[in-house]
Structure 1
């Protein structure tokens, strides 16, 4: 076994709206949460390049570098960001929406700003926005060797419902 990964779900009917609001409010002064748009793509690409080596796991959870097309938000590929007062993109999460289901592609926080609750607040914000637009089921996942995202998902109310292992043949 070379890696472990997980999948988790959050149904809007089970979500604690007050908890989500409280998590969003923890982002702190000087940080704004908002939807990202086409005008943010250059900042997205810079943050993506700066954090490429930060994703734990293996083949099952790797993050492929974004290109301009994958970085451009759309009606079905939503993006949310946390920006500081100077407009620097501190964190981002991308979510693919199909009907009333949303699947988180990835969430990343600039290394100097980790451990401050920005990623949790941003992910809670994305759930609030999309739930307000009619999304009813959220899916997420990642490396089981990433305690930060596991803790964030638990705080948001996600329930782990799938686990996988990556195996490699030893010679």
Structure 2
């Protein structure tokens, strides 16, 4: 049985982050810090930590299946032309990595939200939304005019968060 993936798109030209900045401020006031892989250093040690965080956060995604091995992760997510350490937003709690939002710029000119996830113990505080705002800033800084993402239909929390930000259904030009 095939899955009808939920494909969403956000018009970055129309997106107004202003009404949502309070979420970012509240997270910071509560002690959550934000940085990027580039700012921390795109080192082998940080790549391993990113892999472990991504693997842990991905375990809750419906229909995810087995996660990559570390070698597969490096080959398919890091050693690609679209990987940019500036596009990896990390959420920190007392120095510990608690969340990540990975965004890439595709050769076709749009940005793609690869993964946004927060460790279970830190969910429900708006960290995902705050990281997504920073990911949107990254996409805009690279000249992207739209941000796309794809979700399993059972990932209702992620879909709802993206819709709150203004993502709409991404219908292919041919309507298929």
Unaligned runs of 5+ in 1: 164-171
Q: What TM-score do you get using the length of structure 2 for normalisation? A: 0.76
Instruction: Report the count of equivalent residues.
Output: 159
Q: 1:141 to 1:35 in 2, by over 3 A?
A: same
For the aligned residue pairs, the C-alpha RMSD in angstroms reads: 2.6
> 2:6·2:152 contact (CA, 8 Å) conserved in 1?
yes
Q: Using the TM superposition, name which of 26-35 and 88-97 deviates more.
A: 26-35
TM superposition shift of 1:128: 1.5
TM superposition shift of 1:12: 1.4
Task: Give the equivalent residue in structure 1 for 2:129.
Answer: 120
The aligned runs of 1:120-139 (5 Å cut-off) are: 120-139=129-148
Unaligned runs of 5+ in 2: none
More strand by share: 1
SS in 2 for 1:57: coil
Q: Does 1:17 align with 2:17?
A: yes
Q: Using the TM superposition, name which of 148-157 and 11-20 deviates more.
A: 11-20
Q: 1:74 to 1:5 in 2, by over 3 A?
A: closer
Q: 1:116 to 1:161 in 2, by over 3 A?
A: same
Q: 1:143 aligns with which of 123, 129, 152?
A: 152
Rounded Cα–Cα distance in structure 2 between residues aligned with 1:95 and 1:155: 19
TM superposition shift of 1:18: 0.9
Q: What TM-score do you get using the length of structure 1 for normalisation? A: 0.78
Q: Does 1:31 align with 2:32?
A: yes
Rounded Cα–Cα distance in structure 1 between residues aligned with 2:26 and 2:10: 21
Q: Which has the higher contact order (CA 8 A, sep 6+)?
A: 1
Rounded Cα–Cα distance in structure 1 between residues aligned with 2:139 and 2:35: 12
